[in-house]
Chain A
Amino acid sequence: MKPQSHIQKMLGVFFAVSLILAACATPAPTSAPATSAPAATVAPAATSAPAATAVPAGPKKGGKVTLAVWQSPVTLNGLLGTQTVMNVVLNLVTEGMTEVQPDGTRVAALAKEVPTVQNGGVSADGKTITYKLKEKLVFSDGKPVECEDFKYSWQAIMTPNVGIVSTTGYSSIDTIDCPDPATVVVKYKAFFAPYLTLFNGSDLIPRSAGDPKGMKDWAHNRKPVGAGPFTIEEWKTDEFIRLKRNDKYREAGKPLLDEVVVRIVPSSEVAMQLLASGEVDIMWNNTEADTPQLEKMAGVKISAPLQIGGERLFLNMAENKDPSDPKKPHAILSDVKVRQAIAFGINKQRIIEKLLNNKAKPGSSELNAGYFECKSIQAYPYDAAKAKSLLDEAGWKPGADGIRVKDGNKLRLKYSTTSGNKLREDSQVLVVEDMKAIGIDMFIENAPSSVVIGTWDGGSPRRHGNFDIIMYTTNAGIDPHSQMVNLWSSANIPSVDNKGGLNYTRFNDPKADALLKQASGEPDPAKRRDMYCQLAQMTYDQANMIYLYQRSAIDSYRDKVLGFTSNAWSNTAYNAKEWSLK
């Protein structure tokens, strides 16, 4: 019987160890508040209420919703991070002057109204913006939201050596004046076109956060305080963030839910399983490839508004050398007819059908959604015959092997994108097929994204200019100003002296520069929209950027969650105050 007793002893040790470990791994189990008890069981009230007592119609209050995200936030200080997932959480916690609706228009949040030239909020030269705050605003900790908080936030952003990610816009501010606690007067040094994008939530930090010089150690980074509908109760790194209703929220009766749990899972596959089993109610950030499976899941719905921007081909108009001289034209791609032929020759619809489950739209221009949408521009139609005749006109005649030739040179182009991205690599194959059909030989040469979209010093070809065609995704954001300047201003052509330049197609047109300069001083958004639209039309005609497709922002949720809509301009949690349970 000896061996058995050995095994029994070892088993005993095993369980003892696992017990100890289980206890170790929860350093402070007692801190979990017991009050959050069975929030999910509040249902009876509404359903069993006798018909006699007139229950007001409308969404039910209370309950808990679990949102799965498959990226782990590293910080919740919006000034120190760029992660999308960070903004999802911050959207639950913070609110700013204005917010963007799903259609791309702005509505006032903490401000009484969106400042415009007409209502006096924007000065004639566009340099002074005056916001009036709503009455009696407070942060979730009960402290008032005042002009001083905005001023403090600006000063915090301008603090050197604390790792602020972006000072764009804030560095153009000259002063912030506080004539009274409810009036914020922002004076810019020079006109800053996208002024409405500042002070919109995660960049509003309460004065109580601490000394900006010590920002790296702020408690705020893990437990931000804001004026939004929910407040953070507990954040367990890589596990979950638990948020409770902010009882001091400015809108009476909102938010409807008592609790939101952001569950951090390691991959989207895991999130899909949890959505299927009902362990989570909402899943953040799906791809088109998920949709067939999601559509089969019982009780699961999909929300998929179109996003601005999208996948595009950058055609290099300057010579293909390392580093290239932007004044010397590209041997093949400097000819507008060749570029247009490529644009006509790509069957975008086929890519969308085959690779994106029909959940995308053919790409048209930089301004393809929102307030600044340039509606007059339609995507290049697929027209192989037209493409061929354009190439004929350009002097490229079909050779013996079907590939076109001119002056003894073959029409052969290098086509690069980030390696390891299946959608990109598959779409490359389709584009190469389309090109072959019109007599262009494209060969694929991909590199890791850190190289393709890297820096000058990292040897990125898009910066050095030693490429023919590079493909990736970018977008203009809610206010396209900086994107338009980055992509089309001749001052932004990258070179040894301008390593950070972003005009990768080497587009150089004085008319474009003049339009951009004019837009930089135009306080009326409607007029700016016209200018950008003119510029987009110019680049459409030049076809130096070929927009492949425009994708949707896809989220999925269980149908027991009511009031859920995605907002391609914001994120999954933008209207969390309206969410309720069935």
Chain B
Amino acid sequence: MGKYILRRLLQAIPLVILISMTVFLLMNLIPGGPLAAYESPGITPEDLERLKHELGLDVPLHIQYWNWLSAIIRGNWGTSIVSGRPVLTEITERIFNTLYLSIVAFIGSLLISIPLGVTSATRQYSKIDNLATTIAFFGQSIPIFWMGLILIIIFNVMIKNPNTGGPLLPGGGMSTIGSDFSFEDRLKHLILPASVLIFFNLGTHVRYTRSGMLDVLHQDYIRTAHAKGLNKRTVILKHALRNSLLPLITIIGLELPGLFNGALITETIFSWPGMGRLFFNSIDRADYSVMMGVLLMNAILIVLSGLLTDIVYGFLNPRIRFD
């Protein structure tokens, strides 16, 4: 097992380097470049030439890439071209905000969707099944931005707090500006964005739980368990559930890096200062070093979560061997 993990990790190194190289090239293919943002009537061509030199953008691409790679190997993620702050500072400033929102939404979604999916599968075509599949369908099809805006209009603009006369729920941000830490305040700010994300995640999670469960329920060993005289609950929760979760685990594995990426649209609508906005802004400003930092982090996370998924598979299904 240890050997397997080590081998997989070693294999990942050239892969990550290859990814970073591709990303670097693609990034430089985007027309414009970081200096486009500076172009304005007040900035002379001489200013632009000087900046280009100072930012190290006047050397050939392969040298730019080598400079970046050799710095990364030494643990230096570089500094943002636009803000001049270290890329790691830019990332760490936001990553906890993103994890806070995405993990709450993720766990919240699983807590709802697993019981819902299981019930829905065991009582196929019942009212509750129809309801669950309808919710899942809506969760997947309603655009996040629309849902977010509707929630803001209802809970922030239309419904007022009867005590204060202000909005019932805040329309954005993580906490009330300038106030001391309060759990209630945090929770209030969390409700709307987390609800949107949970609703969206439900779609996928319910469907995978349901179809996984349906698959397993028709297997012989389940019939055997029933024939042994075990009660229905034990059969479903002890025998069926574990095996039925395999497809969901794959999906969750793929979603793990997403927890760190942040939900761009949700973060944008609810003014959440997270990774999604950092990445979007860095693309907007062609801030190469921040883009590279975020993408590298992503590449590593995807490789790691792939590994993690494979390992968890082994625990859930002992037939899978690592050699």
Q: Determine if chain A interacts with chain B.
A: yes
| A interface residues (Cβ-Cβ under 8 A, vs B) | 2-3, 6-7, 10-11, 13-14, 17-19, 21-22, 24-27, 29-30, 32, 34, 36, 66, 72, 74-75, 80-82, 160-168, 216, 221, 234, 236-240, 242, 259, 261, 263-267, 269-270, 273-274, 276-279, 448-451, 453-455, 458-459, 474-477, 482-483, 486, 499-502
Partner of B108, one of A14, A238, A263, A477: A14
Count of chain B residues with Cβ under 8 Å from any Cβ of A? 78
What would be 15 A-B contacts, judged by CB atoms less than 8 Å apart? A2-B237, A27-B96, A29-B180, A30-B181, A82-B37, A165-B38, A165-B43, A238-B273, A239-B173, A270-B271, A274-B172, A277-B171, A449-B32, A454-B32, A476-B41
- The answer to whether residues A11 and B32 also contact, given A72-B277, A242-B178, A277-B167 and a CB cut-off of 8 A, is no
Contact with A along B204-242 (1 / 0, CB 8 A): 000000000000000000000000000001000100000
B83 CB–A CB distance under 8 Å: yes
**A75 contacts B84, C-beta separation under 8 Å:** yes
**Inter-chain contacts of B42 with A (CB < 8 A):** 166, 168, 477, 482
Partner of B84, one of A22, A221, A263, A278: A221
- The answer to whether residues A274 and B171 also contact, given A32-B178, A239-B273 and a CB cut-off of 8 A, is yes
- State how many angstroms separate the Cβ of A345 from the closest Cβ of chain B: 28
- The answer to whether residues A240 and B277 also contact, given A2-B237, A74-B285, A82-B40 and a CB cut-off of 8 A, is no
**B183 contacts A22, C-beta separation under 8 Å:** yes
**B104 contacts A18, C-beta separation under 8 Å:** yes
**Inter-chain contacts of B108 with A (CB < 8 A):** 14
**A36 contacts B174, C-beta separation under 8 Å:** no
Closest A residue to B48 by CB, please name it: A500
**A25 contacts B97, C-beta separation under 8 Å:** yes
A-B complex: 8 closest residue pairs judged by Cβ atoms: A500-B45, A450-B32, A29-B181, A238-B273, A74-B83, A266-B268, A21-B100, A25-B100
**Inter-chain contacts of B274 with A (CB < 8 A):** 238
**Inter-chain contacts of B183 with A (CB < 8 A):** 19, 22
**Inter-chain contacts of A82 with B (CB < 8 A):** 37-38, 40, 43
**Inter-chain contacts of B171 with A (CB < 8 A):** 270, 273-274, 277, 279
User: Once bound together, how far apart are the Cα atoms of A499 and B157, in whole Å?
Assistant: 52
- State how many angstroms separate the Cβ of A38 from the closest Cβ of chain B: 10
6 further A-B pairs in the complex, CB-CB below 8 A; given A3-B233, A21-B99, A238-B278: A167-B46, A265-B172, A277-B157, A458-B32, A459-B31, A501-B45
Residue from B45, B46, B166, B183 with most neighbouring chain A CB atoms (10 Å): B45
**A266 contacts B267, C-beta separation under 8 Å:** yes
Closest B residue to A236 by CB, please name it: B273
**B46 contacts A500, C-beta separation under 8 Å:** yes
**Inter-chain contacts of A500 with B (CB < 8 A):** 44-46, 48-49
User: Once bound together, how far apart are the Cα atoms of A26 and B181, in whole Å?
Assistant: 8
- State how many angstroms separate the Cβ of A556 from the closest Cβ of chain B: 16
- State how many angstroms separate the Cβ of B44 from the closest Cβ of chain A: 5
Partner of B103, one of A17, A236, A476, A502: A17
User: Once bound together, how far apart are the Cα atoms of A160 and B51, in whole Å?
Assistant: 9
Stretch at the interface among B13-21, B148-156, B298-306: B148-156
**Inter-chain contacts of A270 with B (CB < 8 A):** 152, 171-172, 268-271
**A32 contacts B180, C-beta separation under 8 Å:** yes
B323 CB–A CB distance under 8 Å: no
- State how many angstroms separate the Cβ of B46 from the closest Cβ of chain A: 7
**Inter-chain contacts of B152 with A (CB < 8 A):** 270, 273
- State how many angstroms separate the Cβ of B155 from the closest Cβ of chain A: 10
User: Once bound together, how far apart are the Cα atoms of A30 and B180, in whole Å?
Assistant: 7
Residue from B38, B42, B115 with most neighbouring chain A CB atoms (10 Å): B42
**A7 contacts B115, C-beta separation under 8 Å:** yes
Partner of B157, one of A11, A24, A273: A273
Contact with A along B184-195 (1 / 0, CB 8 A): 001100100000
**Inter-chain contacts of B270 with A (CB < 8 A):** 270
- State how many angstroms separate the Cβ of A245 from the closest Cβ of chain B: 14
For window 45-60 of B, CB contacts with A under 8 Å fall at 45-51, 54-55
For window 69-105 of B, CB contacts with A under 8 Å fall at 79-80, 82-85, 90, 93-94, 96-97, 99-100, 103-104
**A273 contacts B38, C-beta separation under 8 Å:** no
- State how many angstroms separate the Cβ of B119 from the closest Cβ of chain A: 10
**A279 contacts B170, C-beta separation under 8 Å:** yes
**A263 contacts B173, C-beta separation under 8 Å:** yes
**Inter-chain contacts of B286 with A (CB < 8 A):** 450
For window 270-302 of B, CB contacts with A under 8 Å fall at 270-271, 273-274, 277-278, 281, 285-286
**Inter-chain contacts of A278 with B (CB < 8 A):** 166-167
B308 CB–A CB distance under 8 Å: no
**A458 contacts B271, C-beta separation under 8 Å:** no
Closest B residue to A217 by CB, please name it: B84
Residue from A3, A237, A259 with most neighbouring chain B CB atoms (10 Å): A237
**Inter-chain contacts of B96 with A (CB < 8 A):** 21, 24-25, 27
B111 CB–A CB distance under 8 Å: yes
B177 CB–A CB distance under 8 Å: yes
B35 CB–A CB distance under 8 Å: yes
- State how many angstroms separate the Cβ of A271 from the closest Cβ of chain B: 9
**Inter-chain contacts of B174 with A (CB < 8 A):** 25, 239
**B177 contacts A240, C-beta separation under 8 Å:** yes
B179 CB–A CB distance under 8 Å: yes
Closest B residue to A24 by CB, please name it: B96
**Inter-chain contacts of B31 with A (CB < 8 A):** 448, 450-451, 454, 458-459
User: Once bound together, how far apart are the Cα atoms of A136 and B37, in whole Å?
Assistant: 39
**Inter-chain contacts of B25 with A (CB < 8 A):** none
Residue from B32, B48, B79, B286 with most neighbouring chain A CB atoms (10 Å): B32
User: Once bound together, how far apart are the Cα atoms of A261 and B173, in whole Å?
Assistant: 13
Closest A residue to B166 by CB, please name it: A278
User: Once bound together, how far apart are the Cα atoms of A482 and B42, in whole Å?
Assistant: 7
Partner of B44, one of A29, A216, A482: A482
- State how many angstroms separate the Cβ of B209 from the closest Cβ of chain A: 14
B247 CB–A CB distance under 8 Å: no
User: Once bound together, how far apart are the Cα atoms of A36 and B279, in whole Å?
Assistant: 33
**Inter-chain contacts of B181 with A (CB < 8 A):** 26, 29-30, 32
B9 CB–A CB distance under 8 Å: no
**A483 contacts B48, C-beta separation under 8 Å:** no
- The answer to whether residues A453 and B39 also contact, given A75-B83, A163-B55 and a CB cut-off of 8 A, is yes
**A36 contacts B178, C-beta separation under 8 Å:** yes
Partner of B177, one of A261, A450, A455, A502: A261
**A264 contacts B177, C-beta separation under 8 Å:** no
**Inter-chain contacts of A276 with B (CB < 8 A):** 157
**Inter-chain contacts of A501 with B (CB < 8 A):** 45
User: Once bound together, how far apart are the Cα atoms of A500 and B267, in whole Å?
Assistant: 39
Partner of A474, one of B36, B41, B167: B41
